[in-house]
Structures are given as structure tokens and as C-alpha cells.
Structure 1
Amino acid sequence: MSLISNKVSRAILPASALIGLLVIVAYMAGMFDEVVTAGTKPIPQAYQGEEYVVSESAVVHHEVVNANVTAKVNTLVASRLLAQLKSLNVRAGQSVSAGELLAEIDDADLQARASQVKAQQDALAVQLKQARKQLERSETLQSQGLVAVNVVDEWRAKVNELQAQHQALAQQLEGALVALSDTQILAPIDGTVVERLQEPGAMLTPGTPIVALYNPAQLQVTAAVREQQASHLQLSEKLKIHIPASGMTQYATVSEIVPVADSNARRFMVKLDIELANNVKPGMYAQLYLPEKPRMHVLIPRQLIKRYGQLTMVEVVEQRQLHKRFIRLGQVIDNQVEVLAGLEAGEILAVR
């Protein structure tokens, strides 16, 4: 009995496979489709909705130029004395206020010099006081005819000499006190420390830089611009800039156009003042947008565009019927998009 069942099963399997294959072929041949009478087509309904007429508008394209953020005000704080750096109180990146103590220079020699001059001045003051008393006494005796005129003249000359010496010492003391004040290095501006250029213990000479500062409230964008573009720029003109690291986009004012910054590449250095912005620091990469001559392009509202993955399309109304058409887009301008290919002025789009 089992032998007969096995034979039946072997016979049914090929037959089932053949029947299934015939069904698939029949389906692909359209035998199960609804039969449409020859010469008749379904009539699509005419579009009755709102329409938008495509038109051209003047579009300003921009040439994007690589640029950098720089500090408009950079200051090197230097020593005025020949002495040793005693202490340095700031670090790179630290914010400082004008008048804040940045560093101190060893003032032992200057203190000794000031003390010496002060002592000489005090001693000379005593001599001058005695000479003036002696001059008064001589003048009194000379009026009584008790001393010669030349004695009075000698004491008058002595007083004048001591006065001159006293005045010279006063100037020396003033210079010593000024030098002592120079041992306190103060911040000349409100700013941020860029770099420590010396360390405590270093021997300084007049003019040796100690600290580099910049003012974060006064920043610029600098860019090398082709001479054809630079020739059209004007001072005080406002141009669009973008700083990717901070996400900032604003309009900056052209403040300088430096002639022939690179004679080989025929480029000019253009500097633009920017407003104070958060998280913007010197050295950041920036982009400068230089406007070109306006050109006529097709612009359509963004809401009329449909997207399928990476493809974009619109619905065009032709003879009251809707047709899908793929288009290639350009830049976004406010709430409109520039169409580079696929549409022409005068065509009608469906709004729905």
C-alpha cells in the first residue's frame, strides 16, 4: 500500500509544477487582465485646480572666495628696560582688561638708583639752604659796607650752582621713578592673550616682546580676491560672509583694499570689518561671497517641488492634463528655488 502511495506522490509533483508554470505564463500574457474593447481608452479628467505660470527673474550669483578671520587690533606688549623678567601673570587664551597687571620686571637696581639719587638730593638741599643763608648774611654786611661786593657775588654764584645741581638731581629722581613704574607691565587694551613670548627669569632688553594680545571686539575677514573682482569693490561696501565653524552668516563692511598682495597671481587683499560674534576667533576659516552680474533664471516656489529620493520634479499642466517632469535645481533664494533645467518661462504648473 505504501509503495502505491509513493508512486502516486511522484506522479503528482511534476504535474503540479507544470500546472503552476502554465498559470504564470498565462498571467504574463495578460489572459487574466480586463478586456478593453478595441478603439476605446479611459478618458483622464481635466485639471481644474490652481495654476502657477513660470516666469524668469534676475538672479545674482556669487563667487565664493576662501578667507580667514583675523584680529584688526593686535598688540605686542614689550619691555622698556634692560632687566630680568620677575613674573608673568597671564596665560594664552586669558581675557584681560586695560590697565590689568600682566608682568613684573626685577626692580632692585632701579630701587637702589632711586634711593641714591634721593640721598644726594637731600644732602644737596642742606648745602643749598646754608648757602642761601650765607648769601643773605653777606648781602646784609655788604649794605653796611663791612664786606666787599665780590664776596656777595661769590655766594650768589654758589647758590645758583647748588640750585642747578639740585634741579638736575630732581630730574634724575623723576627718571628713576618713571623707570620703576615701567617694571609694572600693564595691559594697554581690553583683549585676549594670544601667546606668552617670554617666561620668568628671562633677560629682557628694551623692545623685547613679552605678551601678544588681540581685541576680540574688533575682528576682520581677509581674502585674496582676483583683480577683476577687486576692481568692482568699493570701500564701505557690504558683502556677505560665512564662518562655517561658528555657523555665523552676516554682512561685513569693506575697510581696506590692499594693492597687489600677490603680483604673480594678480590678487588683491580685501579686508572686511565684522561685528562682534560669539565663538568667532582669529584663524578661523571663512567664506566671502562676491556678487556677479545678475542673470535671468527661472524661479519657482519651493512648495511646488516634489522629491523622490535624490530626484526633484513638478507637475506641468499641458492641455488641461497633468504631466510629471523632472527638473534640476540651483540655489535657494528666499522662498523660491532656481531651476537650471527642465522648465521654461510661460509653462504652467499645478498648485496642489
Structure 2
Amino acid sequence: MKTKHKNDQTGDKGRDRKAKLVVRLFLVLALIGIAYGIYWSLPDKAESAIDEFAETKLIPVVVKSPVLRDFERRLVVQGNLEAAEYAIVSPRIQGTIDAIFVDEGASVVAGETMLFQIDKLNLEKAVTLRRHDLEVAKHAKRERAANLKRVQADFEKTELDYNRYERLFDKEAVTPDAFERQESIYKQAKAMLEHAQALVDLADEQEKQAEVALAMSEKDLDDAVINAPISGKISERLQEPGEMGKPGQPVVRIDNTSVIEASAYLPSQYYSKIIPGETRMNIEVSGIDVGQQVVSYRSPTIDHRLRTFEVKCVLKSPPEGVVPGAMAHIVIVLESRTGLGVPSEAIQERGGRSIVFVVRDGTSHEVSVTKGLETAGWTEILDSDLNEEASVVTMGQQMIDEGIRVSVQKE
């Protein structure tokens, strides 16, 4: 029993020594790991590691050469299409609308297509009545002219008698009373002549008045049927037969769809940049490219409430589907020039500067650039050492720095 107990004590001591040895080994390894981490956390050591990695590992990149191309400064707005020429047609006279001869969508020709008719029967009766009035006035004029001739003859006879009595009175061959009676007859005859002449003048004016009334009634009759003032299509029919029509109350609207204006409102700060006849506009309507147009109109003033102004351009013979009332996507070219450009994704912002990387002899080099206009994913380079022969990194530039060895995968 004593021998067994002694052996157990010897085994326990051996196990304790082994456990202590394992703990010591673990602590040594931990201290080595901490020291290793501190060592590699030092900046100069990290850079050395990167350099060593770069020397053994090539960074794959994609390059592209700068291109001489057109660049534009643009303003994108939404606009509307409207007919350059339209007519809102109303009656010239008041009356019941007898008939409307066109429907919405119908094509009309200026001066030929009848649009609607106003109270024609009553106007025809009015013309007939005015013609009768004119005939009455003419007959009255002839009657008064004949009466003037009769009164003229009576006056001439009375004047002869008066002159004779005047000579006899001077010779005291007739009494004063007889002479005075003859003088009274003469004055009455003269007054009758003047009255007859006035009646003739009145009849003449009445005839003219009747002629004017007839002309006006005939004009009203002509105005009863309204023809299209312009060529185009009926876009709206605003009244129906049987309704009362009057001047200023529209019956139909005509739009000339062969010539359309694109209209947009721009912020006031661009007013001086828009020059009619020079500034260009690119227009797209519902996916239809209308092409590049020239600004034809700039409003003479700026709206003081909204601080905007209107611009327009004319679209002649627009393609199918480009019609008044549609919305237009308008790109206005404010500035245009030709310059050297690189893909926009090649430019990076580092240290407050715009830079690109170029590849020379398999090594990346940083080049500072000054950005200009940007168009269609390309950026104009205003001031740098780049030329059309350079190989500018367009993919992989985020992974490289100055002097890094690279592998060009694609140009």
C-alpha cells in the first residue's frame, strides 16, 4: 500500500511539469505574435510589404487613348409642342347655328372648306327685303325728280310775271298792291322750288341708304357660311347645330399640324446665352428623335414672378406621332467646342486634385488634369500633359498608385 501511494505522487508531479511546459510555450508564441503584429504595423514596413507585393504581382488594368471630340454644355428641360399656326373660328354674325359641316380630325383647306352656317334662311329674307327697299327708294327719287321739274316750270313762269310787274311798277303802270301780290306769288314759287330740290336730295340719300343696307344684308348672308381661314385639321368642335352662335364665341378650332413649335421655359440666368437663329436645341418626343433645331424665338422679357423666359423653335413637316399637345424632351446646347477628352470614369479625385493614371513601360504614372465640359460619358481635359498617344487607365485605377507595375488587359 505504501509503494502504490508513492507511485501516484510521482505521476502527479510529472503531469504538473508537462502542463507548466505547455503554458510556457503558449505564452512564448503569443508574445512572438504580438511582436510580429507590431512590427508589420509600422508604416515603413507596410510600404515595404506593398512594394514587395507589387514587385511580384502585376495589377490588371484596362486603358484607352484620349480622343479629340466635340464637347457641349447643355441644359435639359421639358417643353410642349403647339401648332405654329392655329385658328379659333367663331361666327361673324349672331344667329342660330344651322349646320356644322366638319367633325374633329377632318382636314380643311383655307378658303375652300365650309365649316358651319348661321341662320341662312332669315338672312336671305333680309336681303330680299332690302332689295325691295332699294326699289322703293329709286321710285321715290324719280317721283320727286319729276315734281322738281314741275315746280321748276311753275317758278320760271312766276319769275317772268314778277319781272314784268316789277318793270310796270317802276313805270307806275300797276298799283303797289298788285305788285306786292305778284311778289308774294314769286316768293312762294321760289320756296316751292327749294322744297322740291330738298325732296330730290333726300330721295337721293335714301337711295344710297337703301343700297348700303342691301350691301350689309348681302354681306351678312355671305357671312352666314364660314369657310376655313387656314389649312389644317379640326382639333376641337365647341358647339353643335341649334345652339346660338355669336361673334367671339368659338365654334371650331383648326390647327395646322404641318408646322409645329416646340416651346420651353428657361431660368433667367440663361437669357444672355440664348441667341435666336444660333442656339441649337435637340428635341425628342415620346422616343422619336426630331433632330437638332435652331432657336427661332426668345421672349423679349423675363417673367418677373417666375424668373423664367420662353424659347421656341419651329419643326417643319414633323414625323408621324409628333403633334401639338405632346411633351418634348429638350436639350439646349449652351456652349460647344472641340477638345481632347478621356472617359469620365478614368478621372479620380485624390488629395483635392483631379488625376488620371497613364501606363508607360508597364508602370502606372499619375497625371494631374483640369476638367472641362462633359458630354456622353467623356470629359474634356483643358490643361495637362496628355496627348492622343497616351494610354489612360479606365478600369482598375482604384487599385493602383504612382509607380505600380500593371498588366494591360485591353485597349
Q: TM-score range by the shorter chain?
A: 0.5 to 0.7
Deviation at 1:102, TM superposition (A): 0.7
Aligned to 2:341: 298
Residue 340 of structure 1 and its aligned partner are, at CA, apart by 9.2
Deviation track 1:158-207 (CA, whole Å, cap 9, x = no partner) reads: 21121121111111111111111111111111122110011111111222
Higher helix share: 2
Coordinate RMSD, CA, aligned: 3.3
Percent sequence identity over matched residues?
Answer: 22
Specify every segment of 5 or more residues in structure 2 that has no aligned partner in the other structure, as ranges.
1-63, 162-185, 344-357, 364-373, 393-407
Task: Indicate how the Cα distance of structure 1 residues 54 and 340 shifts in structure 2: closer, same or farther if over 3 A, else same.
Answer: closer
TM-score, normalisation: structure 1: 0.67
- Do structure 1's residue 80 and structure 2's residue 79 form an aligned pair? no
Report the Cα offset of residue 234 of structure 1.
1.8
Specify which of 155, 162, 168 is matched with residue 203 of structure 2: 162
Tell me the equivalent position of 2:329: 287
1:204 aligns with 2:216: no
**1:112-149, CA deviations, whole angstroms, 9 ceiling, x for partnerless residues?**
22222221221221221122123223324433448833
| Counterpart amino acid of residue 341 in structure 2 | V
Counterpart mapping for 1:48-59 below 5 A: 54=66, 59=71
CA contact (8 A) 2:295 2:311 kept: no
Query: What does residue range 145-224 of structure 1 map to in structure 2 within 5 Å?
Result: 145=160, 148-224=189-265
- Give the gaps of 5 or more residues in structure 1: 1-51, 301-315, 322-329
Out of 126, 141, 145, the position equivalent to 1:132 is 145
Which secondary structure state, in structure 2, belongs to the residue aligned with residue 136 of structure 1?
Answer: helix
Give matches, 1:80-99, under 5 Å.
80-99=92-111
Name which of 112, 122, 126 aligns with 1:113. Answer: 126
- Give how far 1:98 is off: 0.8
More strand by share: 1
The code of the aligned residue for 1:162 comes to: A
CA distance in 1, matches of 2:265, 2:65: 43
Deviations 1:266-322 (A, max 9, x none): 32222222333232211122122223556865258xxxxxxxxxxxxxxx975389x
Distance 1:318 1:104, change over 3 A: same
Q: Which residue of 2 aligns with 1:310?
A: none
Structure 1 residues 325-350: Cα deviation after superposition (integer angstroms, max 9, x where no partner) = xxxxx855xxxx73799xx9342489
TM-score (norm 2): 0.58
1:78 shift after superposition = 0.7
Relative distance call for 1:119 and 1:293 in structure 2 (3 A) is closer
> In the aligned structure 1, how far is the partner of 2:305 from the partner of 2:277?
25
SS in structure 1 of the partner of residue 265 of structure 2: strand
Shift in Å at residue 53 of structure 1? 5.3
SS of 1:75's equivalent?
strand
Structure 1 residue 72: deviation in Å?
Answer: 2.1
Q: 1:86 to 1:55 in 2, by over 3 A?
A: closer
Distance in structure 1 (CA, Å) of the matches to 2:218 and 2:325: 41
Higher Rg: 2
Query: Given the superposition, is the C-alpha separation of residues 91 and 297 from structure 1 closer, same or farther in structure 2, using an over 3 Å criterion?
Result: farther
1:58–1:235 Cα change, 3 Å: closer
Change (3 A) 1:170 1:298: same
SS at match of 1:182: helix
Give the paired residue count: 272
Query: 1:24 maps to what in 2?
Result: none
Structure 2: distance between partners of 1:86 and 1:262: 47
- Secondary structure of the 1:242 match is strand
What CA distance in whole angstroms lies between the structure 2 residues aligned with 1:281 and 1:210?
22
The answer to whether the 8 Å contact 1:297/1:338 transfers is no
* Residue type at the aligned position of 2:317: L
Contact 1:94/1:192 (<8 A) preserved = yes
Q: 1:259 is matched with which residue: 291, 298, 301?
A: 301
Indicate the residue corresponding to 1:232 in structure 2: 273
- 2:71–2:380 CA contact under 8 A, matched in 1: no
